Amino acid sequence: MPKHATIPGLEAFIMINGQSCKEHDDRTPVASNCTERYIEAQSGATFEIHLRFTRPFTNDQNVSVIVTIDGKDLDELVNRQSELYEKEGHVSKGPISKAGENFWQQKYRFAKLDIKEEVPTAEINVQKEQLVNTGTISLHFYHIETPSPNKNFQIAERDVPDPGPVHEKALKGGALSHTLSLDEAEPSEEIEYLDAEYVDNGEAFAVFHFYYRSLKALKELHLIRHSPELIDLMECDDDVLLNSSPEQLRRMFAHWKHQEEDRQRLKRERSDSETVMGDDEVRGDEDIELLGAIDLRKERRKRRKPSQKDEVIVIG
């Protein structure tokens, strides 16, 4: 889970299907108050956004966190000074709405983009504009003062439009693969709405950006290594061996060893069943395995009729 680069004690992470997801850093220079990570999006999976404040982060001010996904502000977590260090942390599972006295929640979910080639090319530039913020989860942290309850606050359910079929050229350069969808609203526990004043001229003192992409897209962005190509150990020359990575060499040797074991096994199966031990069974200083034996003394004791070449001595 990423800790903020310049603010000790502040961390944020994404949980997918109940598991904290692995983050990838592309090492792009960012503003000092900003931390960026890439995460793997899983089609159809629900996700949650978790925050944690621990010492040495100071709890002398109230903190508000605005959750923005794909360019839309969907949730705001207001944390009083006394609540910052809560052991379980703070979580946003989806926007909460209120109608009358009832509270409802729509869970966050990843949806795979419908990427096609037959979309009219005239729409490509329009789609590029529409998708400029897609694939991004942003958290902006603000200091606030004098938070007070607002019992009359009402807010409707959120609507996140489906982008529909997207031309693959509209995604060029961004390696986009998924977008956000919201589940149907479900009854939620009551929460407290607070009014507050932003300090520092409304400037965020910390920002996290999480860019969610498919596994394939992360590989295209070189944030995850591609599986090394398997090369036949017996067919490569010295140059190939010298230029192969340790992982490639390990896979090449494992493949050769497996082939060699299969060859030796087939050779043993074809060998004469009366063979006591084949040459293939001797491997350096390893123990010799006795596959079978024949008592030759019994063979010698077998009776046979004398032939014309035998000399017969009669003892009488």
Q: What is the per-residue pLDDT across 239-267, written as a single tens digit (0 to 9) for each?
A: 556 656 565 666 667 667 777 777 887 87
Say yes or no: 146 and 22 in one domain: yes
Average pLDDT, integer, range 16-39: 90
Q: Are residues 133 and 203 in the same domain?
A: yes
* Among 192, 220, 248, residue at a domain's last position: 220
Identify whether residues 123 and 37 lie together within a single domain: yes
Closest Cα partner for 34 from 211, 191, 205? Answer: 205
Which among 115, 191, 203, 185 has a CA at the least distance from the CA of 154? 191
Domain assignment present for 307: no
At 227 the pLDDT is 57
Instruction: Please report the pLDDT score of residue 282 as a whole number.
Output: 43
Residue of 152, 7, 129 whose CA lies nearest to 65: 7
| Stronger pLDDT, 242 or 223, i.e. the higher one | 223
Cα(316)–Cα(314) distance, integer angstroms = 6
Is residue 80 included in any domain, yes or no?
Answer: yes
- Answer whether residue 308 is part of any domain: no
Q: What is the pLDDT of residue 210?
A: 96
Report phi then psi at 137, rounded to 5: -110, 120
Residue 2 lies inside a defined structural domain of this protein: no
Residues 158 and 252 in one domain: no
Please tell me the predicted confidence (pLDDT) of residue 50.
97
* Domain span including residue 152: 10-220
| Structural contact between residues 12 and 208, judged by C-beta atoms closer than 8 angstroms | yes
Domains in the chain, number:
2
171 in the same domain as 119: yes
Q: Amino acid letter at 28? A: T
Is 58 contained in some domain? yes
- Using 50, 70 and 90 to split pLDDT, how confident is the model at 233? low
Q: Output the pLDDT for position 9.
A: 96
Domain end, chosen from 193, 220, 247, is at 220
Helix (H) or strand (E) holding 219: helix 215-220
Express as a percent the part of the chain with pLDDT over 70. Answer: 75
| 285 pLDDT higher than 50 | no
DSSP states of 136-202 = EEEEEEEEEEEEEE-TT--BPPP------SEEGGGGTTTT--EEEEEPPPEE------EEEEE-GGG
C-beta separation of 170 from 218 below 8 A: no
pLDDT at 273: 52
Express each pLDDT in 44-55 by its tens digit.
Answer: 999 999 999 999
For the ranges 24-28, 123-127, 140-144, 297-301, which has the lowest average pLDDT?
A: 297-301
Of all residues in the chain, what percent carry a pLDDT higher than 90? 46
Tokens representing 179? 């977008």
| Residue 192 burial (CB count, 10 A) | 10
Structural tokens at position 142: 């603000």
- Is there a single domain that holds both residue 178 and residue 54? yes
> Under 8 Å CB-to-CB from 70, ≥6 apart: which residues?
133, 134, 135, 136, 160, 179, 180
Q: Are residues 242 and 200 in the same domain?
A: no
Which amino acid is present at 243?
A: N
pLDDT(289) > 60:
no
**Residue 5 located in a structural domain:** no
Residue 1 belongs to some domain of the structure: no
**Are 201 and 258 contained in the same domain?**
no
